[in-house]
Amino acid sequence: MMMFKAKALGVLLLLIGLFNTGIAAELPLSEVQLHFKRFSLNEGLPSAYINTLTQTEEGYIWIGSKSGLSRFDGYDFLNFRLTDELEGTGISNDVTALLADDSHNLWVGTDSGLHHFDIRQQRFTSVPFPTEQDYTVLTLYLDETDRLWIGTDRGLYYLDTGAQPFSLLAQESVRQSIKFLAQSEDKLWIGSKSGLFVKDPQSNDIRQIMLRENPDFDVRYERIFDAVIDKGRLYLATDGDGVLIVDTTTEKLLSQHLKDQPFIQSNSIWSIKKQGEWLWLGYFYDGLTAWQPQSNDHFHSRYHAQINYSIPFDNISQLFFDNQGLLWIGTTNGLAVGDISNRHVIHLGEFQASVISISGLPCSATMGYGLAARTVSIITT
């Protein structure tokens, strides 16, 4: 275990900007091009279409793609196909949601149902839904009582993870397509393609938060795709309504941020995460934005065909921060990881005309991931 952790630590150290300050002058945030290591089919992924990401306590990164479940140890991908383990019609390798618990279990949602994956035995077990219909699992959440909540395209379900055999129960009052689940102040927040709902901890009733009723904001669609909770604020990523911020205590809509503001690139946001004071937004078609709500500092990164270290594609399906603070980006055309702690480097790559190669850098200034070390270049203009 210690050998693996040391290996993973060495592998996952990614240089972004340990450069001489005389060469890498501080630049306006809007000019920043982040530095990512990219992975696709050539590196061992079974599919370039990445749906979901998670990490187990051993440090492994798990990836759900259109072609199965993958484990990354810092060097290599180990791929698992549900159809190789499970017999029966309707089993799909399209992994749409992942959740790791503290008992070496991995919960695997697909476009044809829910499965339990025993990490130690590397075996899948299907978890049947109450009816024989096909369900696409869109999100998974484990609450404080070890109840697993399953958001599907046909409504909300739950099960007791300690009970055997596993038995799913329906939450009949929510039959929408559920995209995210999160908990704060004992409330379970439920985001769907038809609006925002909250489960009251006292009555257990589920009620809808009517976002469109506030005349101070231009909420039109209420198609919620992701959310994060931070300091009593629920940050909603929507398809068409930008970023909505809701007070988790009063359940009131506090603010709306649309693309007419410089720190929002598009009103359609697929994934949202918060790291420190920064809010990270992954768009449907417009790349990546980092935004600091307190100061409105921001910068934006997009895919660039000539920059090998840009994000792999502008369709960002999921953002994920691992336990070292590295940012993983799942897109519809590949996976990427980067250290976002330094934002001074711009336009990395070999195609530009006026490039200075930095030689004599310390060993920490080379690319890792088991690849041969390479010299990093930076533009000075």
The residues pairing with 79 across neighbouring beta strands, listed in sequence order, are 70
DSSP labels for 20-52? -TTTS----GGG-----EEE-GGGT-S-S-EEE
Q: Quick one: pLDDT at residue 340?
A: 83
For position 91, what pLDDT does the model report? 79
Instruction: Report the C-alpha gap between 347 and 351 in whole angstroms.
Output: 10
3-state secondary structure of 126: strand
Are the C-beta atoms of residues 224 and 190 closer than 8 Å to each other? no
- For the stretch 179-191, pLDDT in tens is 999 999 889 999 9
- Tokens, residue 190: 């439920």
DSSP-derived 3-state class of residue 365: helix
Q: Give me the phi and psi of 17, to 5 degrees please.
A: -155, 45
- Residues 160 and 174 sit within 8 Å (Cβ to Cβ): no
Predicted confidence at residue 379, as pLDDT, reads 28
Q: Are 174 and 156 in contact (CB under 8 A)?
A: yes
**For residue range 261-302, what is the model confidence (pLDDT) as tens digits?**
999 999 999 999 999 999 999 999 999 999 999 999 998 999
d(CA 346, CA 358): 14
CA angle 313, 289, 14 (to 5 degrees): 70
Q: Work out the pLDDT band at 209, boundaries 50, 70, 90.
A: very high
Question: Which pLDDT score is estimated for 30?
Answer: 44
Q: Are 35 and 22 in contact (CB under 8 A)?
A: no
Percent of the chain exceeding pLDDT 70 equals 80
What pLDDT does 89 receive?
56
pLDDT band with cut points at 50, 70 and 90 for residue 28:
very low
Residue 142 gets which letter from DSSP? Answer: E
Query: Which of 15-19, 34-38, 184-188 shows the lowest mean pLDDT across its residues?
Result: 15-19
**Which residue is listed with tokens 């609450």?**
143
Decide if pLDDT at 161 tops 90.
no
What secondary structure letter does DSSP report for 200? Answer: -
| pLDDT band, residue 197 (cuts 50/70/90) | very high
Q: Provide φ and ψ at 112, rounded to 5°.
A: -130, 20
Confidence of residue 45 (pLDDT cuts 50, 70, 90): very high
pLDDT for res 19: 28
Cα–Cα distance, 128 to 137 (Å, whole number): 12
pLDDT band per the 50, 70, 90 thresholds, residue 84? confident
Distances (CA, A) of 252 to 60, 209, 217, 244, 314: 39, 8, 12, 11, 32
Strand 195-199 to strand 206-209: parallel, antiparallel, or no bridges (unpaired)?
A: antiparallel
